[in-house]
Amino acid sequence: MAHNEAVDVVLVGAGIMSATLAVLLKELDPAIKLEVVELMDSGAAESSNPWNNAGTGHAGLCELNYTPQAADGNVDIKKAVHINTQFEVSKQFWSYLTKKGTFGSCKTFISPVPHLSFVQGNDGVSFLKERFKTLSKHHAFSDMEYTEDKATMAEWMPLMMPGRPADEVVAATRVMNGTDVNFGALTNQLLKHLTSAPDAQVKYCKRVTGLKRNGSGWTVSIKDVNSGNSREVDARFVFLGAGGAALPLLQASGIEESKGFGGFPISGQWLRCDNPEVVKHHQAKVYSQAAVGSPPMSVPHLDTRVVDGNKSLLFGPYAGFTTKFLKHGSFMDLPMSVRAGNIGPMLAVAKNNMDLTKYLVSEVMQSMEQRLDSLRRFYPEAKAEDWRLEVAGQRVQIIKKDPKKGGVLQFGTELVAAKDGSLAALLGASPGASVTVSIMLELIEKCFPNKASGEWAAKLAEIFPARERVLETDAALYRKINAHNNVALELVEASNETESYA
């Protein structure tokens, strides 16, 4: 075994989360010494890869599950507003980096794509109308348009309207300033930018195999996946940004805060179309409602994707069950994660979520014809020969202890941090990459509280002139920041009225 090396920070995994945190830390403290350790031979090889996620810049503009309707008919917009302002925080970071000049172009990773919601049937239409009424009063959604007019919808979604029954009841909303984000390109751009600075390294084909307490920090065991050689690195802080595989590493750390967590892996598939004749008729991300009883991540959507300068369409996702925690993981991942501390919550979730399990099994068993039938609810004239099935990334949903139910399944993300701030892990998958920057700012405040409010405070304020909570309530500031970000990220052209906050 090689003699221990020492760095300030080890980040496990080269996905969007670690890449963002590493670049943020380096901005805040240029002298910090850090190492990103990745088991694959490139960055963004798992969920952050552009074909493993939908690339939606989640801003609450079109996702109907972010605005639940109560029994009295009222629509709750809190979650949509929060995610919208979190995305605006991500955009502030990307704008800041783009303006530095050394980061590269933003056109490689973010593209303007309108976000639409589409509903069918009387219940769907009355929900969408109520949602529009409530949401469009908020400054973040004031540009939203609503229509029940089929001619207008045919302009908004030319691929989706022909071939529908004349008496079909439908409605749609549209927001023009939605985005498609290539999170893979962004991750690799962040990693390239990171390694252009001194004392920042990304080591590929290396697997983190263990974590041991070492004074106030950690000793991280790292194995070369090609040679089998191992080495140890001492770090004052460790981030487990290993995507679905963060859970077993968190368990290996043995920290008190890791107890009771389990994982429920859900796989996914898409239908993909690259035929330019079809693709050119759909320039939008169109989200609809999930089938009754299905989990939130199975909301169907037909999306324009912009990857490496080419446009394609993605439809899905079709969910499925697997025991792997990563797309390139092992079928033993789930069984190996069972511990005395989480078996209770895991069994409770298995017992209380039989409908979900049945739903996932039925999704896996679907034939290509059944998948095309789902697509034809969106695009009635879809031809089988234009579409092919592709495997999406893995999501590992969080299982947590619950005093009443024994265990609950959670569909969001959770930052789990050691009390002394020496280690943190990110569990869960949604809303994911779009809100990475907010999650990493939360991590910095939790694990580096003195620095965040002390020597790093001025730089944080320079990069982030307005955080989520302020943007949620201050309409004038929201408009200023949003307009600035949209110009900086080349999503709109600069106008004379665009103010600069720099």
Ligand X SMILES: Cc1cc2nc3c(=O)[nH]c(=O)nc-3n(C[C@H](O)[C@H](O)[C@H](O)COP(=O)(O)OP(=O)(O)OC[C@H]3O[C@@H](n4cnc5c(N)ncnc54)[C@H](O)[C@@H]3O)c2cc1C
Residue ranges in contact with ligand X by CB under 6 A: 12-18, 37-40, 45-48, 52-56, 58, 183, 207-208, 241-243, 245, 249, 268, 317, 326, 392-395, 426, 429, 431-434
Q: β-strands 406-410, 34-37: how paired?
A: unpaired
Q: How far is the CB of 461 from ligand X (least distance, A)?
A: 26
The residue among 16 and 488 lying less far from ligand X, judged by its C-beta, is 16
Q: How far is the CB of 308 from ligand X (least distance, A)?
A: 17
The residue among 161 and 245 lying less far from ligand X, judged by its C-beta, is 245
| Distance, C-alpha 493 to centroid of its chain | 27
The residue among 172 and 186 lying less far from ligand X, judged by its C-beta, is 186
Tell which residue, 90, 51, 2, 33, has the closest CA to residue 463: 90
The residue among 217 and 393 lying less far from ligand X, judged by its C-beta, is 393
The residue among 15 and 161 lying less far from ligand X, judged by its C-beta, is 15
Q: How far is the CB of 431 from ligand X (least distance, A)?
A: 6
- What CA–CA distance (Å, rounded) separates 197 from 31? 9
The residue among 140 and 181 lying less far from ligand X, judged by its C-beta, is 181
Q: Residue 336 has which token pair?
A: 């190996």
Q: How far is the CB of 151 from ligand X (least distance, A)?
A: 30
Q: How far is the CB of 134 from ligand X (least distance, A)?
A: 24
CB neighbours of residue 273 within 10 Å: 25
CB neighbours of residue 228 within 10 Å: 7
Q: Which residues contact 405 (CB under 8 A, 6 or more apart)?
A: 348, 352
Tell which residue, 166, 164, 169, 171, has the closest CA to residue 377: 164
The amino acid at 52? N
The residue among 60 and 407 lying less far from ligand X, judged by its C-beta, is 60
Give the C-alpha distances (Å, rounded to integers) separating 14 from 35, 207, 413. Answer: 10, 11, 18
Q: How far is the CB of 88 from ligand X (least distance, A)?
A: 14
Q: Are 118 and 164 in contact (CB under 8 A)?
A: no
The residue among 18 and 146 lying less far from ligand X, judged by its C-beta, is 18
The amino acid at 424? A
The residue number with the shortest CB distance to ligand X is 15
Q: How far is the CB of 165 from ligand X (least distance, A)?
A: 31
Q: Are 267 and 39 in contact (CB under 8 A)?
A: no
Q: How far is the CB of 365 from ligand X (least distance, A)?
A: 19
The residue among 171 and 243 lying less far from ligand X, judged by its C-beta, is 243
Q: Are 23 and 193 in contact (CB under 8 A)?
A: yes
Q: How far is the CB of 36 from ligand X (least distance, A)?
A: 9
Q: How far is the CB of 177 from ligand X (least distance, A)?
A: 16
Q: Are 68 and 134 in contact (CB under 8 A)?
A: no
Helices (H), 365-410: 368-378
- What CA–CA distance (Å, rounded) separates 381 from 387? 12
The amino acid at 336? M
- What CA–CA distance (Å, rounded) separates 42 from 51? 15
Q: Which residues contact 352 (CB under 8 A, 6 or more apart)?
A: 405, 407
Give the C-alpha distances (Å, rounded to integers) separating 381 from 270, 276, 279, 317. Answer: 18, 16, 13, 19
The residue among 395 and 484 lying less far from ligand X, judged by its C-beta, is 395
